[in-house]
Amino acid sequence: MKDIPQPLSSIKSPFLAEVTTFIRTRGLAYSTEKAYISWIKRFILFSRYQHRNQINARDIQQFLEHLVTTKNVSPNTQRTALNALVFLCREMLNQDTSLLNFKRSKRSTKLPEVFSHEEAMSIICLLQYPCRLVAQLMYGSGLRVNEALRLRINDINFDTLSITVRNGKGNKDRKTLLSPHIIADLKHQIESVTALYKLDTKNGYGEVYMPYALQRKYPNHAKSLGWQYLFPAKNISKDPRSNRLMRHHLTDRSVQQQVATAVKQAKILKKANCHTFRHSFATRLLEAGTDLRNIQELLGHSDIKTTQIYTHVVGTHFSGVKSPLDQV
């Protein structure tokens, strides 16, 4: 249950518990919380602070330059560290961060690896159920692996052929495509979940974890069928916050391992993983002439620049540009 926020009482450091509380009051995603806390810990250790009163925004510059000159981090990694430390110093400690001036990482940004359609389908065919259906959602709907695993029955809309992604990256909800090709498999999966839910309910369980916003909005829905995970875990486990026994979803690691094995079995030499299906989804849409703004919305990117990377993946040959060798 690594995607469930840990109780504040389990955090040994009073200061980090205070930081965590502040992050949660701002409504940031749990993935952001974990990243920020990790960078704040590293900053504190690097600066050898012994008390919160020693924390100084001017020390951020030295830490960020250390990441570049010693650790050789990528621009994105350095940017995440900067965001975390500016959040700490400016938002929480009310310190001025406007004068930060540091050496920025200039490591080249690599283009994302992408499957051809044949490669994607060959990998999917090698996966076992239900990981095969998870991969189909990643490739056919552009979902991140954890977005697929967190889907609830209510999130699938067969009438509009759409999927609702709740609490995605950036703690945002969005809608994306549902391929008619997998409707029969999804309905079969929902039937399996329904049977498991009835058995759990009979045995005194049947409750699932609900994120804060959903728990407030739907306080009685934790035991309803519609909010059951589409890909439930095999076993009942203890919720670390409430200590109640409930059924969570499959772990991302179980899917990642199957995909890694399938990539090898398909003899695909690309450096590929679950996220490659999402990159491939965007690339296929762009090749088909889908507007970049629409792709941005389907992927849930907050900045169009993030989506524009796929124009470089597709290349100019899809816009009609020909090589001089092809000219007669």
> If you ran DSSP here, which 8-state letter would residue 50 be given?
S
Threshold 0.85, pTM exceeds: no
Distances (CA, A) of 322 to 64, 314, 316: 44, 14, 9
| Per-residue pLDDT, 117 | 95
In degrees, rounded to 5, the angle at the alpha carbon of residue 289 between the alpha carbons of residues 285 and 292 is 70
| Per-residue pLDDT, 1 | 57
Q: Are 134 and 257 in contact (CB under 8 A)?
A: no
Q: Decide if 1 is inside a domain.
A: no
Q: Decide if 5 is inside a domain.
A: no
Residue 35 has pLDDT above 90, yes or no: yes
Count the domains in the chain: 2
| Per-residue pLDDT, 321 | 55
Q: What is the mean pLDDT of the chain?
A: 88
| Per-residue pLDDT, 9 | 80
Nearest CA-CA partner of 224 in 200, 243, 245, 240: 200
Cα Rg of the chain (Å, integer): 22
Q: Which amino acid is at 17?
A: A
Q: Decide if 323 is inside a domain.
A: no
| Per-residue pLDDT, 137 | 97
Residue range of the domain that includes 37: 11-93
- CATH number of the domain residue 151 falls in: 1.10.443.10
Q: Decide if 104 is inside a domain.
A: no
Residue-wise pLDDT for 140-181, tens only, equals 999 999 999 999 999 999 999 999 998 767 667 899 999 999
pLDDT category of residue 99 using cuts at 50, 70 and 90: confident
From 61, 93, 125, the end of a domain falls on 93
**What does the pLDDT average to over 79-93?**
94
Residues with catalytic annotation? Answer: 144, 169, 275, 278, 301, 310
Distances (CA, A) of 260 to 70, 124, 254: 31, 11, 10
| Per-residue pLDDT, 179 | 95
